[in-house]
Amino acid sequence: MELFNTLGGKVETLEPVGAAELRMYCCGPTVYDYGHIGNFRTFLHVDVLRRFLRQQGMALKFVMNITDVDDKIIRNASAAGKPIAEYTEKYERAFFEDSDALGILRPEIVAHATSCIPDMVGMIQKLAAEDIAYRAEDGSWYFRIARFPEYGKLSRKDFDGIEDGARVDVDEYEKDAARDFALWKACKAGEQSWDTDLGCGRPGWHIECSAMATKFLGESLDLHCGGEDLMFPHHENEIAQSEAASGHTFARHWMHVRFLLVEGRKMSKSEGNFYTLRDLLLKGYRASAIRFLLISVPYRHQMNFTFESLLESTNAIDRLRTFHQRMLKGGFAEGRDEALAAATAKAEEGYTASLTDDLNTAEARAAIFELVRAANSAADAGTLRSGNVTEILRVLDLFDGVFAVLKDNDAEITRAALVWAEHEGRLAEASPELVTKLSMPDEEIEKLVAERTHAKKVRNFARADGIRNELLAKGILIEDSKDGVRWRRK
């Protein structure tokens, strides 16, 4: 497939070089809090890419790291009076629960920064042997950018102004040049640290990814992914460390997912303009609709988050699922309508061509909805035949292999979110309708209504009234009419 490569700034063929599988790395979350849906927009597009490459028959080895030590983690853990491992464990678990809820496939390898400290130390020592890494007076280690002339090749920034004075990396240690960035941060009282050959301290964020990517995927990767904010300085620094240490190209292909915005500004923790998946689930939005919305705008475009678009996405999924059920139900006459067969083939082609062309999810989605429209009108007009259904279901399956929204486990996911909210004392944030609806699922209501009908038949009026009151207390009304018994939620 063709994918835009930030390194070089053009669309290029994505392929494994010198190996049977595509070696792929994505910078994972820093587990100091719940992720917001902006973070998940990035992970969702990486998921779409993985699923599509697999569908195209490519073997993948995908590694994602978990940043489980950094300034924010240390600060928050100490505020909570917990060791960092205990603090991060909760948020890492939440990250994977949210990823699962959003249909994001698990990576082949999840690498924890705190489990790879010796690899980071080894890489810094290698750089130190060449005097590319140096030790500052306080015991911190820095990368000497002057020794890596290609610095800036990814983000194509002009660094001339930065050299004299401005600090790129926000840390408080002494260093030789303002641009030099920390590889290893000397230990401070009360902070988690490791005793190593470099001295006591903890790794900088950038060295984590260089060391972990190299450890699991080798010195040259096929593809490296992350959100657009990571391009500089994080990815630029990863390149500098890795290439200075190995002498090889670190990653041939770089994919950057553009931001999710709220009213024109980047969704972020620091702006306070963010929603977590759990916030939205408690408001009654469905996990599948959130996935569908976040992947429907191609990754090379920033997208604005609105609640209207989330509702549109919910409706779109309903349309798809209803259509899918209609096809599964069948009951169409034998044969094959040729015009619809041609439309089906065109939709399949459109789907594959769009994703092959730099992962154009919007066009892939449009191709499938065009098929839904054509097939629904053919079914309404009575021209759709059983031979068409087989093909249509195959194309829908193909689409769903990447978009993953047909299977309806939304209620189950929302119920889990309610259990979590109750546990965290945040049930008050949940919409009241949701609490009622999920406290009594439809099937349970049906059962009680049937039991009441039976109780009336055997003249057990006390039980019948009891059931009516029990349901009423949960906001469910029973209406007896001459056509039978109906129920509805208040």
The upper half-sphere exposure of residue 223, i.e. CA atoms within 13 Å in the direction of its Cβ, equals: 28
Does 38 bind ligand AMP (CB under 6 A)? Our answer is yes
Q: How far is the CB of 212 from Zn ion (least distance, A)?
A: 8
Q: How far is the CB of 294 from ligand AMP (least distance, A)?
A: 9
Does 259 bind ligand AMP (CB under 6 A)? Our answer is yes
CA distances from 252 to 46, 184, 457, 466 (A): 17, 26, 74, 69
Asked if residues 305 and 296 have their Cβ atoms less than 8 Å apart, the reply is no
Strand partners, 203: 184
Of 29 and 103, the one with the shorter C-beta distance to ligand AMP is: 29
Does 107 bind ligand AMP (CB under 6 A)? Our answer is no
Sheet holding 221-227, edge to edge: 109-112, 59-66, 21-26, 221-227, 251-257
Q: How far is the CB of 25 from Zn ion (least distance, A)?
A: 8
Of 196 and 210, the one with the shorter C-beta distance to ligand AMP is: 210
Of 27 and 478, the one with the shorter C-beta distance to ligand AMP is: 27
DSSP H helical segments within 56-113, as ranges?
Answer: 71-80, 84-101
CA distances from 301 to 128, 260, 360 (A): 40, 9, 10
Considering just the CA atoms, what is the radius of gyration of the chain in Å?
27
CA distances from 150 to 156, 159, 467 (A): 10, 11, 75
Site for Zn ion in 208-237 (CB under 5 A): 209
Site string for Zn ion, 164-203 (x = CB under 5 A): ----------------------------------------
Site for ligand AMP in 7-36 (CB under 6 A): 27, 29-30
Q: How far is the CB of 338 from Zn ion (least distance, A)?
A: 52
Q: How far is the CB of 477 from ligand AMP (least distance, A)?
A: 43
Alpha carbon 130 to chain centroid, angstroms: 39
Q: At what angle do helices 432-439 and 410-423 cross, to 10 degrees?
A: 110
Phi, psi of 136 (to 5 degrees): -85, 170
Site for ligand AMP in 199-238 (CB under 6 A): 226-227, 229-230
| Residue in 5, 6, 42, 99 binding ligand AMP, rule: CB under 6 A | 42
Of 227 and 298, the one with the shorter C-beta distance to ligand AMP is: 227
Binding interface with ligand AMP (CB under 6 A)? 27, 29-30, 38-39, 41-42, 226-227, 229-230, 257, 259-260, 266-268
Binding interface with Zn ion (CB under 5 A)? 27, 209
